Structure formats: structure tokens, C-alpha cells
Chain A
Amino acid sequence: MTEVYLYQLASQRTQWLNVRQSLIAGNVANANTPGFQAKDIAPFSTVLAQTQMTMAATSPGHIAPSETELNPPRPADDDAANATLSGNSVDLESEMVKLGEISRDANTANAIKKIFHQMMISALK
């Protein structure tokens, strides 16, 4: 039987969504900060494709790179129409749309986890 990595995939997805949520929170909070550039992270598909073996930490002195170091936040797609005189590039409407996307995707990921869990349980019974 081949192993199923659905749990890992779903939790990676959730992790990615959580990081995105915190970036959106930063964007919205700074919606009126002069010179603030809106941020976003690389799409999940890119993150998944780049998933690599992490270096082994064989001594407590070894420090593994964190999630945000591997996938640093980058400026959101620059849109000339968003540029304001204060140099702020946050567009509240598109941030709200992204917020909706995150909510839907998190629902999906959680539903998958639930269903998969039920499948495991029913196989055990």
C-alpha cells in the first residue's frame, strides 16, 4: 500500500494560509501608513514545488531556517493604479477579497482533514 500524505499536504496548506492571513492583517493595519508596500507570499503551488529536504540539525547549535525564511514575503503585484501620493500601495478591497479566499480555502482544508479522519476511523472499526 502506498502511503497517503494527505494530512501533511492539508496541514502544509493550513500553514501557508495562516502565514498569508498574518500578511493580510499587516497590510490592512497599515492601510494608512505612508510609504507602506502591500505584501503577499508566493502561491501555494510554487511553495509545494519548492519543498525540499531540510538540513539535519545534529547539534543544538544548528539552526534550521524557519518557514518565513524559506518563503520570504514579497511585495504584492505592483499595480500603478494603486499608487497614492503617500507611497502606500494597500488596496483595502483586494485585501478583503484575499481574506475571503483564505476563509474558503481554510474551510476546504479543514473539511478534507475531517473527512480523511473519518475514513481512517471507519477503516479501523
Chain B
Amino acid sequence: MIDPLQASLKIAGAGLEAQSTRLRIISQNIANSQSTATVSGGDPYSRQTVSFDNALDSASGLGLVKVRSIGVDQSPFKLEHDPGNPAADSDGYVKLPNVDVLVELTDMREANRTYEANLQVAKQSADLLNQTVSLLKEA
């Protein structure tokens, strides 16, 4: 069996990876919060969502966290009357992405917080390993 401290380092690493994927999706959503279609009446950028899963890593036998799926938010697009826009349909309405920047920012804060927590676990696991090794230095 793998050493528990090595295991926690691995698990925390998986947590960091999962949260950074989440941050990537959030930044993609924010960056595209105004991306309309290029053709008249076409659909704009759809907000992407990310969901996690506790998956067993067969190599180490540990329950690691991983990104289960990156989905597409099915909520309706916002409509704005802007006849001059190239993406406007025959009635002059433009479909805007279903991204709410406020929601994305809240999500970002949460991702940030969990990332920091994982970092803390990784730091402490490394610290405990070092302490154990430094027992050999004494006397």
C-alpha cells in the first residue's frame, strides 16, 4: 500500500488540477460573456459548466477527485434589440450569451478558496514528510 502521506500529496494534487480546470472554464465563460454569433440570428456562446467526481485511481487504489464532465448550460439566451448588429435576426434582436458575470465571479471565489485549501494540505503533507526525515538528522 502507498504511504498515506504520499497519498495525501497525490490526492491534493488531483484537487488542485480539478479546481484549475474549473478556473479555466470560468475564465472562458467571462471572456466570452459578450460573444455573439457571426451569422444573422445565430446562437451565441453557451455558458459551460464543470462537474466533479470522486473516482478510484486504479494505479494507486486511491479515491481521487477528477473532472467528470464539462457540460453546456441549457438556460435561454438573453435577447437585446440591436438592429445594427451583424448577428441581429430579421426582427432586429441579437442573442447574447447566457453568462452572468456575477455568478462566474462568485464561482471563481469558491474555486479559489478550494484551491487554497488543497494547497494547504499539500504543504502540510510535505512538511510532515520532511519532519519525519529530519528525525534522522538528530544526534
A110 and B135 CA atoms in complex are apart in Å by 7
Interface contact tally, CB-CB below 8 A? 105
Interface size for A (C-beta < 8 A) is 35
Q: How far is the CB of A14 from chain B (nearest CB, A)?
A: 7
CB nearest to B17 among chain A residues: A29
By a CB distance below 8 angstroms, the chain B residues around A14 are 132
Contact residues of B: prevailing secondary structure = helix
Within 8 Å of chain B (Cβ to Cβ): is A40? Answer: no
Q: How far is the CB of B27 from chain A (nearest CB, A)?
A: 17
By a CB distance below 8 angstroms, the chain B residues around A117 are 135, 138-139
A24-38: CB near B (< 8 Å → 1, else 0) gives 111011111110100
B124 touches A34 (CB 8 A): no
Contact A110 to B132, CB < 8 A, known contacts A22-B8, A26-B11: yes
Q: How far is the CB of A27 from chain B (nearest CB, A)?
A: 9
Within 8 Å of chain B (Cβ to Cβ): is A6? Answer: no
By a CB distance below 8 angstroms, the chain A residues around B37 are none
Within 8 Å of chain A (Cβ to Cβ): is B118? Answer: yes
CB nearest to B63 among chain A residues: A26
Contact A32 to B125, CB < 8 A, known contacts A114-B135, A118-B139: no
B117 touches A22 (CB 8 A): no
Which of B47-55, B76-84, B93-101 binds A?
B47-55
Q: How far is the CB of A124 from chain B (nearest CB, A)?
A: 11
By a CB distance below 8 angstroms, the chain A residues around B132 are 14, 110
Q: How far is the CB of B23 from chain A (nearest CB, A)?
A: 12
Contact A21 to B125, CB < 8 A, known contacts A14-B132, A29-B64: yes
7 contacts between A and B (CB under 8 A): A21-B125, A21-B128, A28-B118, A30-B15, A33-B52, A96-B117, A113-B135
Q: Assuming A21-B4, A26-B8, A30-B15, what are 16 further A-B pairs, CB within 8 angstroms? A: A18-B3, A21-B8, A21-B124, A22-B62, A25-B8, A28-B114, A28-B120, A29-B65, A29-B118, A29-B121, A30-B63, A30-B65, A33-B52, A92-B113, A103-B127, A110-B131
Interface residues in chain A, defined as those with a beta carbon under 8 Å from any beta carbon in chain B:
14-15, 17-19, 21-22, 24-26, 28-34, 36, 66-68, 92, 95-96, 99, 102-103, 106-107, 110, 113-114, 117-118, 121
